[in-house]
Amino acid sequence: MMDDYALPFWIYLGVLAVFVGGAMKKILASHLGATPPLVAWLGATVLVERLWAFCLPAALLLLALLLGLACCLYAAARTGPTQNDADMHAPHGKAVLITGCDSGFGHAAAKHLDALGFEVFATVLDLSGDGARDLQRTCSPHLTLLQVDITQPQQVQQALLDTKAKLGLKGLWGLVNNAGVCVNFGDVELSLMSNFRGCMDVNFFGTLSVTKSFLPLLRQAKGRIVTISSPAGDQPFPCLAAYGASKAALNLLINTLRHELEPWGVQVSTILPSSFKTAHSSNHAHWERQHKQLLQGLPPALLEDYGEDYLTETKELFHRYASQANPDLSPVTETIVQALLSPRPQARYFAGPGVGLMYLIHSYCPFSLSNRFLQKLFLKKTLAPRALRKQSGFDLNLLNNNNNNKEEEEKLK
């Protein structure tokens, strides 16, 4: 019976099984909770339906399902998101430098790693600020605060000298590149060139400066580089072009470093968080300042084309999205620990719910569908730019006038 089926059937079978296995690989590594069993069942259902459409015999159908299951299990075994505690490296005595510890992920990570027994070097913008004082008050004497603006090479070099002086002959086990900024929000045409440069200065050039400066210490210890990036660096989130472009450049840099540093024994990982409440994200006054600066910086003609109400809606949508973000930062801090202590750290980690699903849709669905998903997930804009609304109104009036003229002509006839 099986001799009746040509080679293309077997090729189709193999390709479909690999597709399902690849999809399951992403799902099982994405922290989706109860979703994987559902998606696995849907995948198996699609597989059965396609094979049944080809009228394959029951034995071959069973073989296909077993092959798909084997692919899933193999992928899960190779890319499981966590490691057993017994396999993890011990944190005690390992030195880690974390950038951007005034607030957010950096602040939470500095506390968490200090509590685990790491020797933490935490960089802050302001040694007298609330974040720095909180770290001094709550952390152990093993934590060292360093005042560093990562866009200033002199301050980065001074931090390197201070770190070397305290470490002595010991190398640096981990560098956590966390410092980052979203200078502005809005459409590309509405974003000032200074906004793009501001994001690039911090998120890309600043991180590059710190990484290059501390690489000798990391190579000495055969340590780890862990970089907090963003899904906006891989996917076109509306109104985040300046931030996303800087993160895209950062992602490529980190991926290149991962290959180059492998011979040195330095492991490199990227963490992609979902939406969390960090820094100014939930501060309404912050969004108001951003909105005011945007209005003041726009040429009058451009403001007229887009309309102040269009910009106001964007601001309100950002504020609403940020206010609904997760205040619990532990998924990110725990992932940082995984990347620092795992014997075989992953190249890429998803931290928080929904990120894995987003990348699954981005990887396997048509661009039009994934783009629409992003727009519905992130900013659900209802207003079009003012010039387009006027144009639509003009077209509608023109259409109505044409219809009225035709009706008059019909009456005259």
Q: Is the torsion defined by CA of 40, 272, 134, 184 positive or negative?
A: negative
Catalytic residue among 12, 243, 349, 359: 243
Alpha helices in 80-206 (DSSP H): 104-116, 130-138, 153-167, 193-199
Nearest to 103 by CA among 247, 315, 281, 338: 281
Q: Is 359 a catalytic site residue? A: no
The residues pairing with 146 across neighbouring beta strands, listed in sequence order, are 123
Residue 387: burial class (beta carbons within 10 Å; 0-12, 13-18, 19+): middle
Strands of 192-332, DSSP E: 224-228, 267-273
User: Which amino acid is present at 95?
Assistant: A
Long-range Cβ pairs for the range 122-129 (8 Å, 24+):
122/97, 122/98, 122/146, 123/97, 123/98, 123/99, 123/147, 123/148, 123/150, 123/159, 123/179, 124/100, 124/148, 125/149, 126/102, 129/102
Residue 396: burial class (beta carbons within 10 Å; 0-12, 13-18, 19+): exposed
Nearest to 276 by CA among 134, 138, 109: 109
Site of tokens 């000298």: 161
| Tokens (6 digits) for 367 | 């661009």
User: Which amino acid is present at 327?
Assistant: P
CA distances from 314 to 195, 240, 244, 320 (A): 17, 11, 17, 10
Q: Compute the 3-state secondary structure of the chain and give helix, strand, coil in percent, each to the nearest 5.
A: 65, 10, 25
Q: Which helix (H) or strand (E) holds 96?
A: strand 95-98
Give me the DSSP letters along 345-373. Answer: --SEEEESTTHHHHHHHHHHS-HHHHHHH
| Distance, CA of 72 to CA of 125 (rounded, Å) | 46
User: Which amino acid is present at 44?
Assistant: A
Q: What are the residue numbers of the active site?
A: 243
